[in-house]
Amino acid sequence: MASLKPQAPSLKPYHKNRRNHKETAETAITSHQPSGTTMKLITAIIQPDKLDDVREALIKAEITRITVSRCTGHGRAQDTEELYRGQKVMPNLLPKVRLDIACNDAFVEITINAILQAAKHGTGEVGDGKIFITNLEECIRIRTEERGGNAI
């Protein structure tokens, strides 16, 4: 008599070039070691009206892989009174744009200079934004499982 238990679907590679790979202890240790290049995560908080200028500057500098998020925040900039439904209000959080760019060490200064040149209003004003640079320990491309600088 046939079993009524449902059979698990066979796990076949979803792409013809995908390899079946079992990670041994040796490959796990060697694949997670640094490849000699350091990676950085550059986070820039800029004014929303400068997003197009910054994107164009980054594209000219051949930096095309970026993540853009809308956010709100408050820095040193003086609050300005705004009219909201006929009443004066002091907004606590102002609209900003956050750019996240992961890059190899060789592209850090190029990226920073492109953002600095494009994000300023004139010669620079309070509230133009900030750039944060942090070490990026690991980057993994999900599709190919590449790691490190090659995954960026």
Q: What backbone phi and psi angles, to 5 degrees, belong to 119?
A: -90, -15
Model confidence at 33: pLDDT above 60: no
Residue 79: per-residue pLDDT: 59
CATH 3.30.470.30 correct for 35-151: no
Q: Which helix (H) or strand (E) holds 113?
A: helix 108-119
| pLDDT tens-digit series, residues 102-144 | 999 999 999 999 999 999 999 988 889 999 999 999 999 999 9
Nearest to 42 by CA among 52, 56, 54: 54
**What is this structure's pTM?**
0.68
Mean pLDDT of 47-51: 95
Of the chain, the end-to-end C-alpha distance in Å amounts to 54
Residue-range domain boundaries for the chain: 35-151
